[in-house]
Amino acid sequence: MFNCTFNIVHLLTRVQRRASRLGLKKHFTCFFTKMTMKPSNNIWIRRQQCPCGDWKCYVKYEGDDQTSVSSQLIKNETTSTSSSSEAVFMPYVGQIFKTDEDAFEYYSNFARKNGFSIRKARSTESQNLGIYRRDFVCYRSGFNQPRKKANVEHPRDRKSVRCGCDAKLYLTKEIVNSVTQWYISQFSNVHNHELLEDDQVRLLPAYRKIQEADQERILLLSKAGFPVNRIVKVLELEKGVQPGQLPFIEKDVRNFVRTCKKSVQENDALLTEKRENDTLEFLEACKAMAERDADFVYDYTTDENSKVENISWSYADSVRAYTVFGDVVTFDTTYRSITYGLLLGVWFGIDNHGKPVFLGCALLQDESLNSFAWALQTFLRFMRGRCPQTVLTDIDSSLRDAIARELPDTKHVICSWHVHSKLSSWFMPSLGSQYEEFKAEFDMLCHLEGIEEFEHQWNHLVARFGLASDKHIALLFSYRTSWPLSYIRSYFLARSMTAEFYQSLDEFFKRILSGQTCLQLFFEQVWFAADLRNRSKEALQYMHTKTCLPIEENARSILTPYAFNALQHEIVQSMQYATTELANGSYLVRHYKKMEGEYLVIWISQDEQIHCSCKEFEHSGILCRHCLRVLTVKNYFEIPEKYILFRWRLESSLVALEDQNGQCNSDEYAQVFHSLAATLLTESLFTKERFNHVHRELTRLLEHVRNMPVSNEFASNMAANNISES
């Protein structure tokens, strides 16, 4: 049967090629898909191989139970209204379901909670209604028919589990007001056998499922030569469960490995050809894009057999954005496609509103030094040879070596999120109940400012938790010049290590990695997500001043709301610091309550240079509170031009700003509201009754205003900005 199917598919493939030459490829593709199979999704998973280099080491990311983006989205779309975690009551005659599958899932959940499993028995079909009856029965229903014994010396005589149990649920289809529904026509919950306890019912074949993430791990260990019994032991250790407590048994693992090996052998030729065809179609899409847009750039490499290995591309908007926001780039290599065996690398910058901007993309065959070096070379060529000041990546020795070779003058930083996301996989199994305490101390360690203090506290941490021989502690220490604040505080990062920025990156990946069946669809989704025309315009919010300092007013008129909020926080904090002038014109700046933690601010009046030992401006491009305090003392009413970077200014925005004059027009109205609010506060504080009344009425007024329709430019600007701030 398989040979026949293979011949048909092979013939169809040849016809497809012929149709392509005749210009009929688009029409034939639809026919080919229907004749073979429904296209499977292009599944993307997080890289699970640990950067420590031990192929047996496996990383499960904190807060990420589902490692597959695509499979998670598909699961969400197909989840039924009744789930096993919800309360499931005993079915009854007349109970109605939208579909027969809903009824089967409901009955299955009921069965599991009551110590048995079910199976599908017969179905009845008619010409008019199609299948109009479904019978679901207990797994021990009926009796096994005697089979002809095989002609072997010692035939196996397996005892059947079927004992004629009469527990059942029969469904009947009906059409009411042109709507199809299913109702229970017969139900019996009488069993002639013992029902199982919770720890036994989970071992029934119907409930022994190997999840996708576990399948990936099993195949990896099997390929590495692990026998099945050792694979089970490894999974038990990784999941932290007692022996025999996995949701599947050793027999299931053995059957899965055997089935996969057979399936891979049978379909390898078809899969290889599909991958090659999809890759060629991907290149055709790149070529078509280049013909439509002369500024679109792409490149690729081929192996000794002229098959495509690596592909990289970028867009005109990305190249333009790089000229402003290319000082700090993030090269994210978190995901890989298990369908095509390709590693995904995406280049991002951070714009003046704190949001990621797409700069380029690469699909790589492997994670070798040569592949990463090619990706770096190609990206620089796309960006006209300009190197970034700083590049942020995950922990990867090959990628680190490639950056050192191709970008020798660029600072390399390991994203703090990538470090923290691996901690539970690395240390929870060995530390157990001590892990939370270890994690808290590790977080404090990451934010220490002095290198000597970091190394002293690091040694203390390692000794306290007995981690001197731990390979992951050694790995982190070998990368220490790239991730703790004490080492990278003078590197320019442009606020690209904030939680908000990483959340935005995660949202970008969810948009481009969902619902694909081929590489060409992936290419289209990347194009749509990267196109600046599809980004919403930034609303120029009204930004309240919190001090009377002219410096704050000056910054408000120049910076984006994102950058101004960061600077404003420093301005407010600067008012709590005292200054002591030194003989050379420099200043010691210290918080008025704290006797420790003083900072040295160097002031050079000739060319208006100011430098602080905290290195905040060098780190984020935003002046620190210590420098701002000195500028105030020096009677500066505006921040020196050189300390308001172009990358944070309103004029550097990639997309148009809405209502650029809104802020100026809003000042008069803001003053009126502030005056009224101040008077209302004073009057309401005389008695508790007054305060409660004002609070109640303001809450009601705010809710009413929010529900009012927005009908003109004034209402749009004021309602969205001023009142929401109040």
For the range 696-702, what are the long-range contacts, defined as Cβ-Cβ under 8 Å and sequence gap of 24 or more?
Answer: 702/726
Taking only the tens place, the pLDDT of each residue in 574-628 is 999 999 999 888 999 999 988 778 999 999 988 899 999 999 999 999 999 999 9
Q: CA 44 to CA 272: how far, in whole Å? A: 18
pTM attached to this predicted model: 0.68
In this predicted structure, the answer to whether residue 64 has a pLDDT above a threshold of 80 is no
Percent of the chain topping pLDDT 70:
81
Taking only the tens place, the pLDDT of each residue in 479-527 is 999 999 999 999 999 999 998 999 999 999 998 988 777 888 899 999 9
Burial of 294 (0-12, 13-18, 19+ CB in 10 A): exposed
125 by DSSP, 3-state: which? strand
pLDDT at residue 697 in the model: 87
Confidence of residue 153 (pLDDT cuts 50, 70, 90): low
Whole-number Cα distances in Å, 181 to 98, 133, 220, 534, 693 = 5, 11, 45, 42, 54
Confidence of residue 35 (pLDDT cuts 50, 70, 90): very low
pLDDT at residue 20 in the model: 46
For the range 268-273, what are the long-range contacts, defined as Cβ-Cβ under 8 Å and sequence gap of 24 or more?
Answer: 270/6, 270/9, 273/13
Beta-ladder partners of 96: 183
**The two three-digit tokens of residue 578, written as one number:** 């005292």
Beta-ladder partners of 182: 97, 173
Q: CA 490 to CA 492: how far, in whole Å? A: 6
Taking only the tens place, the pLDDT of each residue in 11-32 is 334 434 444 444 434 433 433 3
pLDDT at residue 357 in the model: 95
Q: What is the mean pLDDT of the chain?
A: 82
pLDDT at residue 246 in the model: 85
- Cβ distance 578 to 590 under 8 Å? yes
Confidence of residue 553 (pLDDT cuts 50, 70, 90): very high
DSSP 569: H
- Cβ distance 230 to 253 under 8 Å? no
Taking only the tens place, the pLDDT of each residue in 565-574 is 999 999 999 9
Beta-ladder partners of 172: 133, 183
Domain ranges of the chain: 95-143+161-202, 209-292, 295-415+483-530, 550-652
Percent of the chain topping pLDDT 90:
47
Q: CA 706 to CA 368: how far, in whole Å? A: 55
Q: In terms of DSSP H, where are the helices of 37-171?
A: 69-78, 100-113
Where are the strands (E) in 404-562, listed by range? 411-414, 538-539
pLDDT at residue 363 in the model: 96
Least confident of 295-309, 438-452, 677-691: 677-691
**The two three-digit tokens of residue 643, written as one number:** 């300390």
Instruction: Name the residue with higher pLDDT: 553 or 517.
Output: 553
Segment 646-660 mean pLDDT: 80
Instruction: Name the residue with higher pLDDT: 665 or 169.
Output: 169
Q: Check: CATH 3.40.50 for 295-415+483-530? A: no
Confidence of residue 655 (pLDDT cuts 50, 70, 90): confident
Phi/psi at 85 (nearest 5 deg)?
-80, -15
Count of C-beta atoms within a 10 Å radius of residue 711: 8
DSSP string covering 365-415: S---HHHHHHHHHHHHHHTTTPPPSEEEE-S-HHHHHHHHHH-TTSEEEE-
pLDDT at residue 154 in the model: 61
Confidence of residue 127 (pLDDT cuts 50, 70, 90): confident
In this predicted structure, the answer to whether residue 397 has a pLDDT above a threshold of 80 is yes
